[in-house]
Amino acid sequence: MSVTFARGFSAAGLSAGISSVPGKSDMALVVNDGPLDVAAGVFTSNRFSAAPVQWSREVVKGGHAKGMVINSGCANACTGAEGLAQSRKTAEAFAQAAGTTADKVLVGSTGLIGELLPLDHVLSGIEKGFPQLAPSEEAGVAASQAILTTDTQPKRVCLQVDGYRLGGMVKGSGMIAPQLATMICVLTTDAVVSAKQADAALRKATSTSFDRIDVDGCMSTNDTVVLLASGASGITPDMEEFTATVSSACSQLARKIVGDGEGSSHDIKVSVTDASSEEAALACARAVAASNLFKCAVAGNDPNWGRIVSSFGTVPEQIAPYDPAKVTVDINGIRVCDGGAPGQPRELVDMTPREVHVDIALHSGSESATIWTDDLTHEYVHINSEYES
Amino acid sequence: MSVTFARGFSAAGLSAGISSVPGKSDMALVVNDGPLDVAAGVFTSNRFSAAPVQWSREVVKGGHAKGMVINSGCANACTGAEGLAQSRKTAEAFAQAAGTTADKVLVGSTGLIGELLPLDHVLSGIEKGFPQLAPSEEAGVAASQAILTTDTQPKRVCLQVDGYRLGGMVKGSGMIAPQLATMICVLTTDAVVSAKQADAALRKATSTSFDRIDVDGCMSTNDTVVLLASGASGITPDMEEFTATVSSACSQLARKIVGDGEGSSHDIKVSVTDASSEEAALACARAVAASNLFKCAVAGNDPNWGRIVSSFGTVPEQIAPYDPAKVTVDINGIRVCDGGAPGQPRELVDMTPREVHVDIALHSGSESATIWTDDLTHEYVHINSEYES
């Protein structure tokens, strides 16, 4: 269902000839049929933000959008003034077809950095796509497929809470790192919320979901998460509950990104507990999730805890105060490191499940944090030494 | 020649049965025959520093050492009080054989983290090794071979300057990151220097050599660089020149580590120029050198400059102020990114040489810095998902 699960939204997914793979579905359209046209967005903090990010960041400042056009196959990033003009022209074409103005149209692009869009194909794709717009399940599914790049499967979410609905789709598989994964995510809801409420809920939700996954430590130029609200349910939700709903949707989609991490054979949950602060726990968890050596070991089904402690051993004491001689590390429930020294034999750890749980206790407080990541496989290298589309 | 190039040093390399590979040479002994016994050392900043690091750090505080025993095949890291007792017993055995006290004996270990040493083998190895000690070229070569783990070749250096000599050996191939590569390095000189002078020269030298290479972003628990001075040449060097000589030796050895990076097919030199400060240049260069996506692209001979700018685009503006619209990036002499947008066609870049030069100009000042790294290959993953010794 994805973005059409919430009432008041139409979508389409089609092949516009943007991707270098002939016939690949590479354009998604999402239209908010109202009555509201509320929009909020969160974007990459990369200083080389792509043209569509620069464009859409301005749009959400107004708090309103009629819809969004997303293309895969080209990121339109690091393309200078000409790239920004392309995003504007894309928004203008969508606006004309939708009977609105360009400043109410969000644009998203994903693919290779440093290449301009084949603009003719984008514009003819919008023209071709509008008649296909539908509020149907099929249309939502088609849109969720059109935004994929190296993803092996579409990622969707549908939540129904107290009379209102929230649907969503996301793409993301590589170039996934803290401060938003490399991804484009569209969430839709038929709840009645203001732009300010949507923005607050979305920021809270992304900070504990997309900001807490790390496939390969690489931050993208194109990260975009938008939340569109149609108000079509007529239901005005309790804001705490609404924020929890948006958070749940984001967490589900973030988890799916990790599950589809490029070439991955394990999903790794790194939890740090008993820390002096959440910041300390996060810093340690992120350090482990960023370790190539540890991630290679997991790929080889090796519960190499030395690579875990040596990773979070690099976090400065000012950030994470703890005594290395008190730390414990469990892998899949086996305490392999006890008091900074060898614990149970590593041979006891069963590394065959897809999910690997690393539990680190710092014994310096009561705060905690979790980061999800993937292992580092031959296939990841293969994908990323070949990728050029 | 390695450590025996400088007069006043004897060495040996032998198989002590520590490595899991039967018959592998796994113990190196280095003895300073004087007349001086000056020693300086620089060690990992990892908070889980290994037992031999904890031991040797105390030894160099005194500024004097009779020699060093290094084993490969086991890191003796994260091994608690028992591990530290093993390092002490190792030093005591060496001291007894050398006619000195344990507080004058440096210890180094490299290999798997979280395993205790086979102490009997270490002690019998020292007993067996002492009669083999010689000031010969062969003995220096044997020592340089005994310290290797996943290295494919020994790494040595010999410098002769104004009547005094400096020799050295290093091991290091993976777990190589800023703030000392993962490595054990022994430098010897017959110059007449004080412990304070040796320490100052060594700190300066490592800060611009081993601290500026990054194979895989992973910092070790066992990094150790020591400088031993015998004074046997009778020459008291100019300190500026001596520091330059030690720096040259460290740079040569650091470059050899990158050249032998685990599974690597390219050595990558990332230079950032026209930066507002050296710190800014370093931060940007380190960000690029740490990008798995960029390193995979290089493995695939793909001059993917988008992955370069998206990497240093993550460095906060407070650390590295620059205007993304003014940045240029050259790969092997071709300006692929000009003013933050596409420059020359990427097809013009010849990626076949082993050395890849990335030159980034920030156009925000006149400072610069260089980091050396490797590409990320199938072979790296293979080595690190199989490694267990």
Return the structure tokens found at B43: 């060690």
**What confidence tier does A107 reach under pLDDT thresholds 50, 70, 90?**
very high
Return the structure tokens found at A166: 């929230």
Q: Which residues contact B232 (CB under 8 A, 6 or more apart)?
A: B6, B7, B8, B33, B34, B35, B190
**Listed range (B84-98, B121-135, B170-184) with the worst mean pLDDT:** B170-184
Same domain flag for A11 and A154: yes
Residue A351: pLDDT over 60: yes
Residue A41: its H or E element? strand A38-43
Residue A182, pLDDT score? 66
Mutation target among A296, A356, A387 for the B interface, most CBs of B within 10 A: A296
Contact B384 A300 (CB under 8 A): yes
Same domain flag for B77 and B113: yes
Same domain flag for A115 and A158: yes
Same domain flag for B141 and B216: yes
**Residue A253 exposure: Cα atoms within 13 Å on the Cβ side:** 37
Please report, rounded to a whole number, the percentage of residues in chain A having pLDDT higher than 70: 96
Domain carrying residue A378: 267-386
Between CA B209 and CA B226 the distance in angstroms is: 14
Residue A356 bridge partners (DSSP): A268
Which of B238, B259, B280 delimits the end of a domain? B259
Q: Are B257 and B220 in contact (CB under 8 A)?
A: no
Contact B342 A114 (CB under 8 A): yes
Which of B210, B240, B259 delimits the end of a domain? B259
Q: What is the pLDDT of residues A244-288, one digit of tens each?
A: 999 999 999 998 988 888 888 999 999 999 999 999 999 999 999
Residue B45, pLDDT score? 83
Same domain flag for B227 and B149: yes
Please report, rounded to a whole number, the percentage of residues in chain B having pLDDT higher than 90: 78
Same domain flag for B297 and B194: no
Residue B60: pLDDT over 70: yes
The CATH number of residue B357's host domain is: 3.10.20.340
Q: Are B37 and B8 in contact (CB under 8 A)?
A: no
Residue A341: pLDDT over 50: yes
Which of B242, B259, B276 delimits the end of a domain? B259
A221, A296, A314: residue with CB nearest B219: A314
Same domain flag for B136 and B182: yes
Choosing from B150, B182, B221, B273, the catalytic residue is B182
Residue B388, pLDDT score? 47
**Of A160, A379, A136, which is closest to residue A266 (Cα–Cα)?**
A379
How far does the CA of residue A200 sit from the closest CA of chain B (Å)?
24
**B101 shares contact with chain A (CB less than 8 Å):** no
Q: Are B340 and B327 in contact (CB under 8 A)?
A: yes
Number of independent structural domains in chain A: 2
Same domain flag for A82 and A221: yes
Q: Are A56 and A221 in contact (CB under 8 A)?
A: no
Portion 37-76 of B in contact with A at CB < 8 A: 45-48, 75
Angle at B14 (CA atoms; ends B10, B15), nearest 5 degrees: 165
Same domain flag for A252 and A280: no
First to last CA, chain A: 28
Same domain flag for A36 and A128: yes
**A345 shares contact with chain B (CB less than 8 Å):** no
Residue A311: its H or E element? helix A306-312
Residue B2: pLDDT over 70: yes
What's the ipTM? 0.79
Mutation target among B314, B318, B362 for the A interface, most CBs of A within 10 A: B314
Same domain flag for A372 and A291: yes
Same domain flag for A178 and A198: yes
- Mean of pLDDT over chain B: 92
Q: For A130-176, where are the alpha helices, taking DSSP H only? A: 137-146
**Residue A217 exposure: Cα atoms within 13 Å on the Cβ side:** 25
